[in-house]
Amino acid sequence: MIDEQTDKSKPRSSFWKELPILLGVAILVAVLVRAFVLQTFYIPSPSMEHTLDIYDRVLVNKLVYDFRAPHRGEIVVFVAPTEWSGNPDGEDFIKRVIGVGGDRVVCCDPEDRLMINGQPLDEPYVFTENGVRDPVADEEFDITVPAGRLWVMGDHRSASGDSLEHWQQSNQNIQLATIPEESVVGRAFTVFWPVGRATWLSVPPSYDNIPAPQG
């Protein structure tokens, strides 16, 4: 015979007693995820148009670069150098990685393409509006990225405060024109808002053809 007393379900009051614990666990998990795994960022400027438009929101993987260095073609969020932002407390920027440590980046080949380690780079994402495309750079340059640093550029080249602009402004100081790998917060991998612009931020296949640095 089943004991009717032990067969009864828990009193409803126990749910309300456990609810604060459940909420606390949920908040803790959310905080840990935001701190170490994923974070959302909104786009405040036109420097990455039209890959990323103003007020787009992206998801950033903060864990990936704990296991490897950034790759060419990836879109990264980083804490900008004070010389870039003018903010000694730090400010997050978002750009595309064009060159990694050891890469020689040159502008330009006869078809107005950047050259990386001697290989022309097709950049279908460079800003185009009303049939007019930004030049990939507004002046010729020939640089080699120092070890442990990144040469980053916006997709809207004429509206981007990026490595090329700071190379020009610093009298061609390659250290001031590049960012340290350790300043990278994470990789932006998808636009999730607005819903009509939702897309994956994949690396264009043209980067697959870039050879390793020489020497």
DSSP the chain: ---TTTTSPPPTHHHHHHHHHHHHHHHHHHHHHHHHTEEEEE--SSTTTTTS-TT-EEEEESSGGGTS---TT-EEEEE--HHHHS-TT--EEEEEEEE-TT-EEEE--TTS-EEETTEEE--TTS-EETTEE--S-SS-EEEEPPTTEEEEE-SSGGG--SHHHHHHHTTS-HHHHSEEGGGEEEEEEEEEESGGG-EE-PPPGGGGGPPPPP-
CA-closest candidate to residue 84, choices 154, 17, 24, 8: 154
- The catalytic residue among 62, 95, 163, 206 is 95
**Is there a catalytic annotation at residue 160?**
no
Catalytic position from the list 9, 17, 45, 47: 47
Active site residue 95: yes
| Catalytic residue list | 47, 95
